[in-house]
Amino acid sequence: MLRSSCLRLGARLRCPGGGIRAPAGSGHRSLVSCIDPSIGLNEEQKGYQKVAFDFAAREMAPHMAEWDEKELFPVDMMRKAAQLGFGGVYVRTDVGGSGLSRLDASVIFEALATGCTSTTAYVSIHNMCVWMIDTFGNEEQRHKFCPPLCTMEKFASYCLTEPGGGSDAASLLTSAKQQGDHYILNGSKAFISGGGESDVYVVMCRTGGPGPKGISCIVVEKGTPGLSFGKKEKKVGWNSQPTRAVILEDCAVPAANRIGNEGQGFLIAMKGLNGGRINVASCSLGAAHASVVLTRDYLNVRKQFGEPLARNQYLQFKLADMATRLVASRLMIRNAAVALQEEREDAVSLCSMAKLFATDECFAICNQALQMHGGYGYLKDFAVQQYVRDCRVHQILEGSNEVMRMLISRSLLQE
């Protein structure tokens, strides 16, 4: 869908001279070449990127602060994004997906995140869920669930974390006992993005014994008796997407909704998270990318001691460090995205490294941007504080950065 949209629009989607517009809502000149995110992309990828940047500037950035303040879940906007193919970026085309690569998806999510990091992060989780069904589901499941998810007529949530277990996901307690042609689910999931609003819940539950091999993946549809939700959580950031507990009490779900075989759920969950880590790191890139440009422009207009802050060498060096960290993060993420697409043996470690490095560095970039804005940076009238709040949680979710270090060191020590 996205590929055909780009081809129809043709030259209008290309980036003149390799440049792009400034991050959504900044209203300033094009980026200097050293941090231009179109560098290294082919013409088709530049087209996808241009579509995403334009959409972020037009449909997201003007509303980002309102969605945050009022905690609004922007359903209509996301459905507009889905019309461009953003509801199933790397889902196969026969079920309504765009059929693009992991690298293409990273480029798109980075661009969208400049307009609203919180909302883009939810869209990326939704994409991960649709991919899991598309990849591990049978044909009936693919054609039942994926088309309305790709159009975002329906929304999806990923349900792995539980109140008593986050990083130790293999110890999950939510149970699924088969009775005839149904599974009876009991348990609860915590910190679920889209909880209460989503229509499809991809639930990891225990159908067998302890450990990862006893876990299966079952799709629970909204409205199923026994499915309920906790209170809406009050969060530091990510306020444009609701977060609630998902509660399952004698919840009868058709056995036909099990994705893959019994005992395959943990593998499915981890495969999904490999891509999810690239996605959320890409969202951090978008926040950092926007913050660098906002800071550059602020230094050029803000005067202290009789001259623009941009003439202060200390601040010049800080800006240079921010730009360097941004580009290094982008390169790591894109390298990992290619490895994941090619199903290379080092893909899991590279995804972990990219998520660890990029989310840490991009948060540091956003935080430094706030500092360089001085007192203004702490005001909600200035977007930089929202980028700080929205990207902080990326160091925790999709596997905390401490878990990323565990995965990387485990790979090294097993060599």
State the catalytic residues.
398
Considering only CA atoms, which of 119, 48, 117, 118 is closest in space to residue 84? 48
Considering only CA atoms, which of 9, 17, 16 is closest in space to residue 48? 9
**Beta strand residue intervals within 194-281, DSSP E:** 200-206, 215-221, 227-229, 243-254, 258-259
Q: Tell me how far apart the alpha carbons of residues 92 and 78 are, in angstroms, rounded to a whole number.
A: 20
Phi, psi (rounded to 5 degrees) for 194: 85, 0
Neighbours of 99 (CB within 10 A): 18
Q: Tell me how far apart the alpha carbons of residues 335 and 116 are, in angstroms, rounded to a whole number.
A: 24
Q: How distant is the alpha carbon of residue 228 from its chain centre?
A: 25
The size of the chain, in residues, is 415
Q: Tell me how far apart the alpha carbons of residues 155 and 122 are, in angstroms, rounded to a whole number.
A: 10
Q: Tell me how far apart the alpha carbons of residues 127 and 14 are, in angstroms, rounded to a whole number.
A: 25
Region class of 18: left (phi > 0), else alpha (psi between -120 and 50), else beta: left
Decide the pairing of beta strands 156-159 and 200-206.
parallel
Residue in the structure block whose two tokens are 């209008």? 12
Considering only CA atoms, which of 351, 358, 363 is closest in space to residue 387? 363
Q: Residue 57: exposed, middle, or buried by beta-carbon count in 10 A (0-12, 13-18, 19+)?
A: buried
Q: 125 with 141: CB under 8 angstroms?
A: no
Considering only CA atoms, which of 351, 339, 334 is closest in space to residue 39? 334
Considering only CA atoms, which of 87, 130, 120, 61 is closest in space to residue 284? 120
